[in-house]
Amino acid sequence: MYLILEKKILSATVVEFKVKAPEVAAKARPGHFIIVRHGERGERIPLTIADWDSNNGTLDIVIQIVGYSTRAICDLNPGDSISDLVGPLGQPAVIDPVKSVICVAGGIGAAPVFPQARAYHQLGAKVTSILGARSADLLTWQDRLASVSDNLIICTDDGSAGEHGMVTSPLLRMLQSDAEKPERVVAIGPVPMMRAVAEATRPYGIKTYVSLNPIMIDGTGMCGGCRVSVGGQTLFCCVDGPDFDGHLVDFDSLINRQRAYRTLEKEALEHHCRCTKEAGEC
């Protein structure tokens, strides 16, 4: 059992937890992820480690409510415990000593991109972070990203905060400027956003890493559920990733695989809502 020490409501559908997990915190690196499960019938949910404190043995994780299992975890409070937590899993992110890097985050991608931005910052790179969301109320971790960035650019689809538009607008502006062109780009967020970032950097030949989030079950490469096509090869996100060269990823196949269980996920959430209403719990 993994004790929840703190809980923060970041938005209507996003929750941040601080969890006691000393063995995982001792070995966590940027890019690593964990798999959590709550209850014997709970679904296994992969989550990138947003932050960790090896001295205090804690992990920071950010969860977005998208279905029954994520809602059940987000309903927990400090003093409660998560049944199962395993990690760190996957390959750590490639953090090379470059002069400049742009870290692009969409939605809750701000949390998993933070450790990489911090690592580049600690190596002395000039870090520009671009954080996007549909609206101001959905922005997360602005302060944390700002603390490790030389420049933080905010974008919202509706213009309610920062620049009005997509994250690719300031990215393209910088790519076209000799003074601001980066040596490396990291993008974490919704698949369409990561795809757009990779296509924006492709003509400039700038190495671009994306963090993939396919359907995942065991997290150890045994089930094959998280297979992705990268450079014409079939790889497993859980053991070969989750970070890959964005210019080599087959985003079409990734999107199709993510849609595979959408109907079942909707039915499970609706069933949970019916049951809780009948029990008088909501």
Distances (CA, A) of 133 to 49, 130, 163, 193, 282: 20, 10, 11, 11, 29
- Mean pLDDT, consecutive 10-residue stretches, the chain (282 aa), reads 94 93 96 90 88 96 88 93 92 94 94 96 96 92 94 93 92 89 94 95 96 83 86 92 94 79 62 60 54
Closest by CA position to 129, among listed 144, 145, 118, 115: 145
Say whether the peptide bond before residue 190 is cis (omega within 30 degrees of 0): no
Secondary structure (DSSP) of 78-106? BTBEESEEEEEESPPP-----SEEEEEEE
Q: What is the CA radius of gyration of the chain?
A: 19
- C-alpha–C-alpha distance, residues 76 and 82, integer Å: 8
Phi, psi dihedral angles at 14 (to 5 degrees): -130, 130
If one looks up domain 100-258 in CATH, what number appears?
Answer: 3.40.50.80
- Give yes or no for a contact between 137 and 10, defined as CB atoms under 8 angstroms apart: no
Closest by CA position to 95, among listed 158, 47, 30: 30
Q: If residue 182 lies in a helix (H) or strand (E), which one and from where to where?
A: none
How confident is the model at residue 261, as a pLDDT?
61
Start-to-end Cα distance in the chain: 27
- C-alpha–C-alpha distance, residues 121 and 276, integer Å: 46
Fold of 2-89: Elongation Factor Tu (Ef-tu); domain 3 (2.40.30)
For the chain, domain boundaries: 2-89, 100-258
Q: Give the type of residue at 73.
A: I
How confident is the model at residue 176, as a pLDDT?
92
- For 276, what's the count of Cα atoms within 13 Å in the CB-facing half-sphere? 12
Beta-carbon count within 10 A of 233 CB? 10
- C-alpha–C-alpha distance, residues 59 and 69, integer Å: 20
How confident is the model at residue 62, as a pLDDT?
94
Q: If residue 177 lies in a helix (H) or strand (E), which one and from where to where?
A: none
How confident is the model at residue 188, as a pLDDT?
95
- Give yes or no for a contact between 63 and 47, defined as CB atoms under 8 angstroms apart: yes
